[in-house]
């Protein structure tokens, strides 16, 4: 089941919900309203060393990048 982010239009509470296929009425856990909207989610991923450029990288430089 995918995890989606929602916002309640009644009380503005933001929450996450595991949703099975075909499930349409998502109730707010704070106020119980089903007047909710699905938010666009942003997820983060990382790999080792992804935060910095490789040591052979030279911005604007051409060539092989070595040396």
The string of pLDDT tens digits covering residues 3-56 is 999 999 999 999 999 999 888 899 999 999 999 999 987 776 667 655 555 556
- Separation between Cα atoms, residue 66 and residue 49, nearest integer Å: 18
Cβ atoms within 10 Å, residue 27: 15
C-alpha 3, offset from chain centre: 10
Question: What domain range includes position 11?
Answer: 3-19+27-38
The Cα–Cα gap between 21 and 19 comes to 7
Report yes or no on 62 lying in a domain.
no
22, two tokens: 């075909």
Count: domains in the chain = 1
Is 9 in contact with 37 (CB distance < 8 Å)?
yes
Q: What is the pTM of this model?
A: 0.59
Assess if residue 59 is contained within a domain: no
């Amino acid at each position: 089941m995918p995890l989606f982010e929602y916002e309640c239009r009644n009380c503005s509470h933001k929450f996450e919900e595991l949703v099975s296929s075909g499930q349409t009425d998502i109730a707010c856990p704070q106020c119980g309203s089903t007047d909710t909207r699905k938010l666009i989610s942003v997820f983060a991923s990382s790999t080792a060393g992804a935060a910095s450029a490789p040591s052979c990288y030279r911005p604007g430089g051409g060539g092989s990048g070595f040396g």
